[in-house]
Structure 1
């Protein structure tokens, strides 16, 4: 099986490792790089895999190197990778989960021709329901892209896009959970204002969201048709939708996602 080194033992790194173990990946084929001693010890105990503070040591034995650190820490990781012997004939690929870091920026710090895949994950991967988009760098071929996709499928679904669309992906799914949570917050607050207890309002909203998402995924109809089916003429839902549209909810979402895309593009540059 593929030997995988995950650089970064934060929540995303741990979620990916846990998903890989659950999907059948051998403990012996996984290693995580974590420099904080207490966190490293906790990861070793919870996951039962090798933990090291050396990027170069982890990379030396890996077929796939996953960078799962904050964007500001990527350059330090690449500097350490530069000390490793990555030209030893082993077929390796690097996947970066760091937001806003282009494949070109990573490729410039690695040996010429090193294959790089850019990934935009989102936080539902913490519960195995992530949505990841992957894009190939200049030197990554279709087999290497598929390899990265298979690894990420352990924690959710995966789509392939050109790297030019990664800023749009960031706006839609990378930041998407925050929009969802904002809507949940608003609906719960509205429920409390209507006289429900906060606990009951929260249960009603969360289960409604879960059920609606499941219905949307399994139905042959799209969001428009499903919404229309619930919206009886002159009914309660129609009254609510009318007020939401009057408040500019649709246009606010469109403008918000455009703003997120623009910010992501600014980080890329």
Structure 2
């Protein structure tokens, strides 16, 4: 359990998590494991999918504002296409919404877009990944111009999830989302395919699954413990003219594996950019509608 820095205590007093899917649920669980009191957390979601036990739940922001003091930190875990709706709901709270620090894990949605929708709240943007559930994640952080106390609060939250890398350029976020955010799913799919190949080679399903899973787990553990690069470790496994080389000749033939991974990551990054464009359009429309009402 890690003690919270005193300068961040105020921001961590009342955390509202808007949208509690797999990733948000994993982070909330880690924050609890790291010592954050359950009374400091509120999930806001009409149909949560991964809410840890004991966390208070309400369906909407309006319900939260009607029952509880204003938040000190607002975590956005909704789908990017729903951000304009959440922004309108927050604006409708008026003073009851307060001036929380905004922490967004939305793919594609830019800091400036969020700030304009949420009345220029201080904003930090993160892209965690699912291994955060066991404290082994890697989270990219873009947090320009935050007060030291706000940054201390975010650093404490992210340390519970694993390693943090800080981005100096927000433009890298789409590639980060594609690589580390989506990467675990790509790896899990590879393990599925590896086990399936074992079955095709004559193994029963259970044995193929066990071998594929343990092979990946062991290889990852060795990589984490070794000073060698992945390329150097690969070379240590590959004897000249041996079985591994024969398999790698198929994977690497005509650059097939590299081309496949480039296309895979590029597709995910392009989707992040498309989500950003759609969110910015929705936000612009929401701002226009708000201006019409004010006029």
TM-score, L = length of structure 2 = 0.80
Superposed counterparts of 1:1-269, under 5 Å: 1=9, 2-3=12-13, 4-36=15-47, 39=48, 43=51, 47-55=53-61, 57=64, 60-85=69-94, 92-112=100-120, 114-137=121-144, 139-141=145-147, 143-161=149-167, 162-246=169-253, 248-269=256-277
The gaps in structure 2 that reach 5 residues or longer are 1-8, 278-295
**Residues 11 and 235 (structure 1), Cα distance of their counterparts in 2 relative to 1, 3 Å cut:** same
Aligned equivalents of 1:75 and 1:221: distance in 2? 46
Q: Which moved more, 1:241-250 or 1:195-204?
A: 241-250
Report the CA distance between 1:85 and its aligned residue: 4.3
* Deviation string, structure 1 residues 222-251 (Cα, Å, up to 9, x no partner): 101111111111111111111211161122
**Residues 262 and 182 (structure 1), Cα distance of their counterparts in 2 relative to 1, 3 Å cut:** same
Report the CA distance between 1:266 and its aligned residue: 2.8
Q: Higher RCO, 1 or 2 (CA under 8 Å, sep at least 6)?
A: 2
Counterpart contact for 2:70–2:96, Cα < 8 Å: no
Report the CA distance between 1:214 and its aligned residue: 1.2
* Deviation string, structure 1 residues 102-123 (Cα, Å, up to 9, x no partner): 11111111223x2111111222
Counterpart contact for 1:60–1:85, Cα < 8 Å: no
* Deviation string, structure 1 residues 80-137 (Cα, Å, up to 9, x no partner): 211334699x76310111112111111111223x211111122233444322211125
Aligned equivalents of 1:86 and 1:172: distance in 2? 39
* Deviation string, structure 1 residues 4-56 (Cα, Å, up to 9, x no partner): 111123222222221111111111211111224xx59x95xx52232223425
Report the CA distance between 1:68 and its aligned residue: 0.9
TM-score, L = length of structure 1 = 0.87
Number of positions where the alignment pairs a residue of Structure 1 with one of Structure 2: 261
Match of 2:289 in 1: none
Report the CA distance between 1:216 and its aligned residue: 0.8
